[in-house]
Amino acid sequence: MKIALIGFGASGIGFLLKMKHSDHEIHIFEKAKDIFSTSVSGIRADGKIFISKEMGGDLDIDLEIQEKVVQYYLSKTSCPDNEIEKGDSFANKSLFNEFYKYGFQPVSSKFWHIGTDELKTVLKNIFDEFSTIPNYHFHFNSEVTDIDINDKFHVNTKEQSYKFDKVIIGVGRSGHKLIQKIIKKEPNIIMDNMQVDLGIRFELPNHIVETLNQEMYEFKLKLKTRTGYMARTFCNNPSGFVVTEEYEDFKTVNGHAKRFEKSDNTNFAILVTHQFTEPFNDPVSYGSYIAKLTNILAGKNKVILQTFGNFKESKRTKKLYRVNPTLNNNDYILGDLNLAFPRKTTESILDFIDTLDKVIPGIANPDNLMYGTEVKFYSNKLNNNIIPGLSTIGDCSGWTRSITYATAHGIILAEEILKST
């Protein structure tokens, strides 16, 4: 069978890994010019890989498969096992109990941190493995612009059109344009999407969270705040760096850490889940507007930086004190996030930080830093049974949000194809 795989990201890697010994002819279309230059995602930046039943996606993925995925990525690093940063969040029961006492829901998971720099080696080693397989044909610089689903299946790039028996789409969140085109042709593939997570990137000196960083590397916590909205920590980066994330017409914030270069600060996101109900059905626009508003206030192409103390008092930040931002100073202005955030978002963030301070004194220091906006969009959940022969895997399917789950999704789909052929 002739199969097109669109996107060479985490889910595509899982798919190719399982298909390695099959007879199927597989063509891989990737819009980037090579394995390194594509849009940012966890497989190209930071690379924290988790094993957890409680986060990472909405699929029920066996711990055994998750363990195999993690071991596969670790086997592609250049460093010995004992040099990989890792953690086991809330394996320490007294820490679990302490957070629980104050209303938090601690999320258990195991982590390994590869680092942005080391990911390049990992990707190169994976590509070297796949590019020697005679049935695998890589097409870089080949953005798929459309797929004809009536004429099974014409896959179109700007230059050429190819015909396939099966199409697997693993284009991640950066491939939303292609997904939108498929949805327009067959709206019934959408199952649901009513959520966006909005918030800030928090940055503080390492020593305040040293115990947590050493004990767990990443601490995942959820809290039902006084607004009734759920808030959570996301993507903790000990000795890390705050960065901006570029969308087509706005900029948000994010964070990452490297294996070798280290800063004096830890950063993590505090995200508030905004869950909408009918008739509103466009959470992506809602999140985008708020992110754009912070850019408008900050001046084109910049984000807002504010101290926690000023955020709490609704005052514009004019001066920083003890914490030095790791974000490049051309990328932010000192400002007031209260001019952009809805009250429910602000109140939820304040409640989260004040409650966290009860367990980790120093979290609510007035000179700790907040950058806005950080946004996590959720793709529409798609149904793979509506267009026979066409399947979505990974984040673009709406069912995964992590390297482990996306890779496992690719593996599971490949297993189904192998069973049925």
Ligand X SMILES: Cc1cc2nc3c(=O)[nH]c(=O)nc-3n(C[C@H](O)[C@H](O)[C@H](O)COP(=O)(O)OP(=O)(O)OC[C@H]3O[C@@H](n4cnc5c(N)ncnc54)[C@H](O)[C@@H]3O)c2cc1C
Interface residues with ligand X (CB under 6 A)? Answer: 6-12, 29-32, 38-43, 45-50, 143-144, 170-172, 174-175, 178, 245, 254, 394-396, 400-404, 406
Output the residue with the shortest Cβ distance to ligand X.
Answer: 9
DSSP string, 5-17: EE--SHHHHHHHH
Q: Least distance (Å) from ligand X to the CB of residue 318?
A: 30
Residue placing its CB nearer to ligand X in the complex, 72 or 100: 72
Hey, which bits of 171-246 come out as E strands?
190-192, 195-205, 221-224, 230-237, 241-246
| DSSP assigned state of 132 | T
SS3 369: strand
Q: Which is nearer to ligand X, 129 or 357 (CB)?
A: 129
CB 162 within 8 A of CB 335: no
DSSP 189: G
Tokens of 92: 């320490």
Token pair 């202005």 is found at: 333
Closest approach of ligand X to the CB of residue 387, in Å: 17
DSSP string, 301-338: T-EEEEEHHHHHHT-------SPPP-S-TTSEEE--GG
What are the distances in angstroms from CA 397 to CA 27, 87, 359?
20, 29, 37
- Closer residue to ligand X (CB): 11 or 355: 11
Evaluate whether 243 touches 258 at the Cβ level (below 8 Å). no
Query: Quick one: 266 or 355, whose CB is closer to ligand X?
Result: 266
Smallest distance, ligand X to C-beta of residue 102, A: 27
Q: Which two tokens stand for residue 396?
A: 């673009």
* Interaxial angle between packed helices 403-420 and 10-19, expressed in degrees from 0 to 180 and rounded to the nearest 10: 30
CB 14 → ligand X: shortest distance, Å? 8
- Of the pair 177, 315, the CB lying nearest ligand X is at 177
Nearer to ligand X, 111 or 332 (CB): 111
Compute, in degrees rounded to 10, the torsion defined by CA atoms 70, 205, 354, 275.
-40
Q: How far is the CB of 394 from ligand X (least distance, A)?
A: 2
d(CA 386, CA 409): 18
Q: Which is nearer to ligand X, 36 or 321 (CB)?
A: 36
Minimum CB–partner distance for residue 379 and ligand X (Å): 9
Q: How far is the CB of 28 from ligand X (least distance, A)?
A: 9
Identity of the residue numbered 382: L
CB 212 within 8 A of CB 91: no
Nearest distance from residue 41's CB to ligand X, in Å?
3
Please identify, using beta-carbon distances, which residue of 225 and 295 lies nearer to ligand X. 295
| Closer CB to ligand X, 295 or 404, in the complex | 404
| Min dist. Cβ of residue 412 to ligand X (A) | 13
Sheet holding 104-106, edge to edge: 104-106, 221-224, 230-237, 265-275, 195-205, 369-377, 303-307, 332-334
How far is it, in rounded angstroms, from Cα 187 to Cα 168? 18
The CA-atom distances, in angstroms, between 20 and each of 16, 122, 131, 394 are 6, 18, 11, 19
C-alpha distance across the termini of the chain, in Å = 9
C-beta of 270 vs 350, nearer to ligand X: 270
Closer to ligand X at the Cβ: 271 or 350? 271
Minimal distance in Å, beta carbon 226 to ligand X? 30
